[in-house]
Homo-oligomer: A and B are copies of this chain.
Amino acid sequence: MESHKITIRVRYQETDGQGIVHHGNYLTYFEKARIECLRDIGISYRDVENAGLFLVVAKAELNYYQPAYFDDELEIETKVLSSKGAAIVHQYTITRGEDIIMSGTTRVGCLTKDGKVTRVPKWLGGKGEFQKPV
């Protein structure tokens, strides 16, 4: 399976009083990873929304193994586990060098502007007809 990698550097603001990355921020990192995956296939998520398709998180699972610290360079590896029906499932693994910091999955649903569920379009790996943004 293909995977996509990005690197982020932990911001000071993302740490909390325990001196580590606050566990909620990883969902923001995942979001950034999904957006960069899209860009990698030539799609800006901004155009997706402008075209009337919204990708909304329906489920998330996060497993934390080791803390990450301010200024750490973290690598996020993202795989698309599934892209069918109205949902895309991504899997993420975040590492710092040899250390696995955490991993997780999200399930995002495809919605139209008026909130109706719609099939994942072909250009996102599914069978739906929703037109690709240009």
Residue numbers of A with Cβ under 8 A of B are 11-13, 15-20, 22-25, 27-28, 31-32, 35, 44-46, 49, 54, 56-64, 67, 69-71
Contact = CB atoms under 8 A, between A and B. Distances in A.
A45 B12 contact: yes
B19 A71 contact: no
A100 B69 CA distance: 31
19 contacts: A11-B32, A12-B22, A12-B35, A13-B16, A13-B31, A15-B17, A17-B17, A17-B49, A17-B70, A18-B49, A23-B27, A23-B60, A24-B25, A24-B31, A27-B27, A44-B71, A46-B70, A56-B67, A60-B61
A101 to B, nearest CB: 12
A54 to B, nearest CB: 6
Contact of A46 (B54, B64, B69): B69
